[in-house]
Amino acid sequence: MFDLNSLEGGAVAVTQDALDTLDGSLRGGVHLKGSAEYDDARTIWNGMVDRHPGFVIRALGASDVQKAVNFVRENGLMMSVRSGGHQIAGHAVADGTVLLDLSQMRSVFVDRAAQTARAEPGATLGDVDRETQAHALVVPTGVNSTTGIAGLTLGGGFGWTTRKFGMTIDNLISAEVVTADGSVVTASADSHPDLFWAIRGGGGNFGVVTSFEFRLHALGPEVLSGLIVHPIEDAPGLLAELTEITEGAPDELTVWSVLRKAPPLPFLPEEWHGREVLIFAVCYAGPLAEGETAMAGLRALGNPIADVISPHPFVGWQAAFDPLLTPGARNYWKSHDFAALSADAVSELLQGIATLPDPACEVFIAHVGGAMARVSAGETAYPARSAHYIMNVHTRWDDARKDDRCIAWARDLYARMKPYSTGSAYVNFMPEDEEDHFAGAYGKNGKKLSEVKGRYDPDNLFRINHNILPA
């Protein structure tokens, strides 16, 4: 007998016979505490998350997901859903609940003639990139190859090619979704269009996506990309000049600013290792020769410590930051959006960088816009469409004894930067304790999201997430 958390509060008893029957109906299986599969499923990217579900349902297809959803609904159980397991808030796992594990559903199929790809929810960005780049095609995704395609897409999705090709959700053609009543439906512009609208930015509130169909674009196999590293002392002037450059930049050019202590990279002089630096991470999503021209102004700024811009395989560039984002470290993020980087905002930011609590901590600021900004705020659930800057206070460390210090630093910098922010937010960067900022993630779209939630999940079965309450 297993006591699990109930949707109504309290506990629900689940018998071994019920679990055996469920297990026998699945292509995947039911896994209990003490098994290798149980521990593998509950272990996610953020090392701060150490939770113990009642049991794990490991799915291998839509039929398994449907049976899992029916089982938890009929028994009044709480369920979390784990895809790539990369979400910062750790909603993939909860104590005393059912964990639906999609991590083994990793297939990616590319239709080269149609320039589309279909990906299962357990696929990582690396899985998707390797298959699409075999045909010199891309779907716009994020910047860390171990991120899961499901969570990235459901929250919005942006990265090196967003300014050229739009957000990940802007390139979603359809999705197969298991809804709270156990139905398997196709959400697209022509089928369940309200659900299709909601899953493009509304997270996992509306059902369990079992496959995504994406539109692909020609790019690669090489892109002009790399890093330009400057002393942090030059940051005020450089960031002011960067603003002028990005405002007139072609859609193909993306520049992210990273402020941190310099890691011991082989192209950096040893005397700079461990010192605060400003890094411009740059990618040109177009022909290499055009990229050289587009980057000329940026590369002419200041007196860089290092400039390692060159052609790179796109798959390699997509994984370039993986060594700094390995699984298992402790992570706590805070995020703001800015319409512009004012001198006062930069001054506050630099004061924070002067007190970094761990060498692995950093702040990155992504400049977005271009194709992404030519989509109206109401066209998808994700509304923050104007050209702007997205800041992630990316606090990361290994020693649990540093928890209080690192979290306090992130919260302090977040509070200091709030006066300069737009009030909007990117839900994938929000930690579990940031409900005060949650309304900013959806703005005027919040009311419609609640209405769609009420139609597809009126009892809030899918609630272990950044939850949208059903109307």
What residue segments make up the domains of the chain, in order of their start? 2-101, 108-218+444-456, 222-440
Residues 84 and 146 sit within 8 Å (Cβ to Cβ): yes
Q: Which of 410, 365, 334 is nearest to 235 (CA)?
A: 365
Q: How far apart are the C-alpha atoms of 131 and 109, rounded to whole Å?
A: 7
CB-side neighbour CA atoms (13 Å) of 247:
9
Q: Average pLDDT across each block of 10 residues of the chain; the chain has 471 residues. List them in order.
A: 90 96 98 98 97 98 98 98 95 97 98 98 98 98 97 98 98 98 98 98 97 98 98 98 94 98 95 98 98 97 98 97 93 96 97 97 97 97 94 97 98 97 94 80 95 98 96 94
Distance CA 378, CA 316 (A): 35
CA Rg value for the chain: 22
Closest C-alpha to 179, from 81, 57, 92: 81
421, 405, 253: which is closest to 332 by C-alpha? 405
How far apart are the C-alpha atoms of 4 and 13, rounded to whole Å? 6
Provide the angle, in degrees to the nearest 10, between the axes of the packed helices 16-25 and 62-74.
Answer: 160
Task: State both tokens at 358.
Answer: 């761990």
CATH topology of domain 222-440: Vanillyl-alcohol Oxidase; Chain A, domain 3 (3.40.462)
The predicted pLDDT at position 434 comes to 79
Class of domain 2-101: alpha beta
Phi, psi of 311 (to 5 degrees): -65, 135
Q: How many CB atoms lie within 10 A of CB 133?
A: 19
d(CA 352, CA 357): 10
Which tokens sit at 49? Answer: 């998350």
Residue 98, judged by CB atoms within 10 A of its CB (0-12, 13-18, 19+), counts as buried
CATH class of 108-218+444-456: alpha beta
- Record the pTM: 0.96
- Omega prior to 263 cis, within 30 of 0: no
Which pLDDT belongs to residue 435?
A: 73
Query: Which among 345, 333, 123, 121 has a CA at the least distance from the CA of 239?
Result: 345
